[in-house]
């Protein structure tokens, strides 16, 4: 896509999907492609809490990144608009926005207000990402009911669906009765084609307004424990990032599994003077995905970030993580730990689209 002097309005590209579906990875891959085409990109990350692994990861990779925290985009719509306006002053061409992975009703609470009042942007169709392994889990007869509710509602309001991680699941089935694309942020499969499609201006954005029971929606989100942890670790002797977060990550995953607490998404980032490393899983017992400098040399200082979303009691989840934290050897500085269950969603605006 080339710049048109008659169309200088920035694009807003909202990419949704359940926890661990690969939203940030796809956005960063897409941004690199667009920047090779001469377009300036930015990304807005969203979370119920603060101190996000994905924001730090985006910054580590040189992306222009911002956060909207303390609630979903729908509940922080004014903050989202302020962030759009600030990025617009930076002469960006495309702004990617990634809502919280447990959030739904985006079409009415974000696209609706954008479409109604703000004509300074071009709005791309709503893409919802699906991890094939999560789709299999959510379709099973013993799927967790609250999580399955959120997952299905996200699919119902999508303008288009992308099955992610095509490098790991090359033969994945699409979503029944939904036109589906297949992409891989790792190999680039389908990413350029997806961008061409959503930035063509030919597809309608936010065309489906959900019928949604907000009481059920609130109960589904409240079933999740939301933990964010940050600290600076200074070990007695230099240790590599891999040997710093590896045992810590494995310990948290094992403790949750032993307590029969289901992991929705666990990710950890270590930034040190010798390199950075990110590890993540989207289920108990899963082989972690790894990004960054796996062979980075030992360092005397490590900035650690942990974001955990799990199905369980927040106090219990916090206790388990604190127990693993005690096993980390070294001085722990600037430690911040917050664990909670999300409050009921209260959108600032909800603009339902008239159905034909």
Coil, strand or helix: which one is 318?
Answer: helix
For domain 224-340, give the CATH number: 3.30.70
With residue 133 as reference, give the H or E element that holds it.
helix 132-139
With residue 19 as reference, give the H or E element that holds it.
none
The ranges of the chain annotated as CATH 3.30.70 are 224-340
pLDDT of 333 reads 97
pLDDT of 1 reads 47
pLDDT of 7 reads 60
Helices vs. strands in the chain: H and E counts, helices first: 11, 14
Structural tokens at position 214: 């907000």
Tell me how far apart the alpha carbons of residues 85 and 65 are, in angstroms, rounded to a whole number.
14
Structural tokens at position 259: 């307590």
Please list, residue by residue across 130-168, b when 16 or more beta carbons sit within 10 angstroms of its beta carbon and e when fewer do: bbbbbbebbeeeebbebbebbbebbbebbbbbbbbbbee
pLDDT of 174 reads 82
The ranges of the chain annotated as CATH 3.40.50.300 are 11-220
Tell me how far apart the alpha carbons of residues 269 and 307 are, in angstroms, rounded to a whole number.
9
pTM of the model: 0.92
pLDDT of 51 reads 85
Q: What own/partner pairs with CB < 8 Å and gap ≥ 24 does 163-167 have?
A: 163/129, 163/130, 163/132, 163/135, 164/17, 164/21, 164/22, 164/25, 164/26, 164/129, 164/130, 164/131, 164/132, 165/22, 165/131, 165/132, 165/133, 166/190
Domain 11-220: top CATH class: alpha beta
Tell me how far apart the alpha carbons of residues 44 and 60 are, in angstroms, rounded to a whole number.
15
Q: Compute the radius of gyration of the chain from its Cα atoms.
A: 20
Residues of the chain with pLDDT under 70: 1-7, 354-356
Tell me how far apart the alpha carbons of residues 278 and 271 are, in angstroms, rounded to a whole number.
9
Tell me how far apart the alpha carbons of residues 114 and 321 are, in angstroms, rounded to a whole number.
40
Tell me how far apart the alpha carbons of residues 335 and 68 are, in angstroms, rounded to a whole number.
22
């Amino acid at each position: 896509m080339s710049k048109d002097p008659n169309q200088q309005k920035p694009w807003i590209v909202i990419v949704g999907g359940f926890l661990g579906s690969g939203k940030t990875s796809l956005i960063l891959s897409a941004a690199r492609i667009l920047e090779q085409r001469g377009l300036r990109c930015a990304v807005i990350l969203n979370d119920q809490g603060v101190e996000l692994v994905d924001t730090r990861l985006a910054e580590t990779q040189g992306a222009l990144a911002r956060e909207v925290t303390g609630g979903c985009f729908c509940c922080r719509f004014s903050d989202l608009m302020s962030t759009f306006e600030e990025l617009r002053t930076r002469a960006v061409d495309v702004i990617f926005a990634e809502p919280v992975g447990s959030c739904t009703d985006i079409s009415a609470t974000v696209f609706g207000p954008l479409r109604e009042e703000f004509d300074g942007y071009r709005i791309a169709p709503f893409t919802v990402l699906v991890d094939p392994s999560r789709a299999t889990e959510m379709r099973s007869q013993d799927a967790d009911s609250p999580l399955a509710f959120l997952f299905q509602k996200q699919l119902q309001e999508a303008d288009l669906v992308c099955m992610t991680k095509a490098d790991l699941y090359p033969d994945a089935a699409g979503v029944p009765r939904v036109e589906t694309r297949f992409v891989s942020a790792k190999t680039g499969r389908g990413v350029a084609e997806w961008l061409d499609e959503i930035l063509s201006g030919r597809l309608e954005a936010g065309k489906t307004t959900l019928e949604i029971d907000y009481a059920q929606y609130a109960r589904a989100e409240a079933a999740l424990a939301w933990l964010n942890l940050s600290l600076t670790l200074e070990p007695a002797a230099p240790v590599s990032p891999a040997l710093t977060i590896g045992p810590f990550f494995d310990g948290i995953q094992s403790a949750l599994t032993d307590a029969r607490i289901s992991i929705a998404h666990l990710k950890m980032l270590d930034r040190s003077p010798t390199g950075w490393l990110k590890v993540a899983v989207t289920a108990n017992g899963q082989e972690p995905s790894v990004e960054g400098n796996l062979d980075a040399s030992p360092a005397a200082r490590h900035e650690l970030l942990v974001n955990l979303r799990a199905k369980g009691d927040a106090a219990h989840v916090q206790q388990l993580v604190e127990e693993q934290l005690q096993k980390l050897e070294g001085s722990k500085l600037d430690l911040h730990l917050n664990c909670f269950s999300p409050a009921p969603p209260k959108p600032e605006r909800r603009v339902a689209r008239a159905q034909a």
